[in-house]
């Protein structure tokens, strides 16, 4: 089973093409998430916030880029995937993704959604 099986079928070819552009510089780190997985990520993020970390610090140190509330994440709908890699690669892939009509934000550079 390839990583893209966690995405809706119509999205798979675009996601696979994008990730292939990153070659060995990037890896897919998260695709489909259940409600409980999303809740767990959100709770971890909230705990870091309670310790005084900013959203940016939590993203950079712990790889948690402001997880959406459970039920509001595109990961739960098979419409999002996260990619790990150097910031400059993610920024470039984000520009490519947006040129194809996808959604990407500099504030959450690992996250690509449709
Ligand atoms: Zn994401």
- In the chain, count H helices and then E strands: 4, 4
Q: How many domains does the chain have?
A: 1
Listed in sequence order, the residues at least 6 apart from 29 whose beta carbon sits closer than 8 Å to its beta carbon are 63, 82, 83, 84, 110
Alpha carbon of 51 to ligand 1 centroid (Å):
23
Rg of the Cα atoms in the chain = 14
Domain range enclosing 75 = 3-113
CATH for 78: 3.30.1380.10
Alpha carbon of 81 to ligand 1 centroid (Å):
5
pLDDT tens series, the chain, 114 aa: 699 999 999 999 999 999 999 999 999 999 999 999 999 999 999 999 999 999 999 999 998 999 999 999 999 999 999 999 999 999 999 999 999 999 999 989 999 999
**Element (DSSP H or E) covering residue 37:** helix 35-50
- Whole-structure pTM over 0.75, yes or no? yes
Alpha carbon of 52 to ligand 1 centroid (Å):
23
Alpha carbon of 14 to ligand 1 centroid (Å):
16
């Amino acid at each position: 089973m390839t990583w893209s099986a966690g995405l809706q079928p119509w999205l798979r070819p675009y996601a696979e093409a994008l990730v292939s552009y990153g070659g060995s510089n990037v890896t897919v780190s998260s695709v489909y998430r259940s409600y409980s997985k999303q809740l767990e990520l959100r709770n971890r993020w909230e705990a870091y916030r309670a310790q005084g970390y900013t959203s940016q610090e939590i993203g950079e140190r712990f790889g948690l880029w402001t997880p959406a509330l459970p039920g509001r994440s595109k990961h739960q709908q098979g419409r999002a995937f996260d990619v790990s890699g150097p910031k400059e690669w993610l920024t470039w892939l984000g520009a490519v993704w947006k040129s194809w009509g996808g959604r990407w934000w500099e504030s959450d550079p690992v996250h690509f959604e449709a």
